Amino acid sequence: MRLLLSVDMEGATGVTCWDHVDPKGAEYNRFRHLLTADVNAAIEGALAGAGGSIEKVLVSDGHWNGGNVLIEELNPMAELNAGTISPFSMVEGVQEGDCDAAIFVGYHAMIGTQNAILDHTWSSRCVANVWLNGRLVGETGLNAAVCGAFGVPVLMISGDSAVCEEAKAWIPGIETAVVKWAHGRTAARCLPPSKTGALIKSAAERAVRRWVASQEAPAAPSLPAPLRVTAPVQIRVQFAFSQMADSAALLPGARRVDGRLIEFESPDMPTAYRSFRAAVSLANV
Active-site positions read 120
CA dist 69 and 39 (Å) reads 8
**Cβ-contact 276, 243 below 8 angstroms:** no
**Rounded to an integer, what distance in angstroms lies between the CA atom of residue 283 and that of residue 278?**
9
Distance CA 154, CA 102 (A): 5
Cα separation, 224 vs 168, whole angstroms: 10
Task: Evaluate whether 154 touches 171 at the Cβ level (below 8 Å).
Answer: yes
Torsion angle, alpha carbons of 264, 269, 273, 276, to 10: 10
| Cα–Cα distance measured from residue 79 to residue 253, given in angstroms and rounded to the nearest whole number | 37
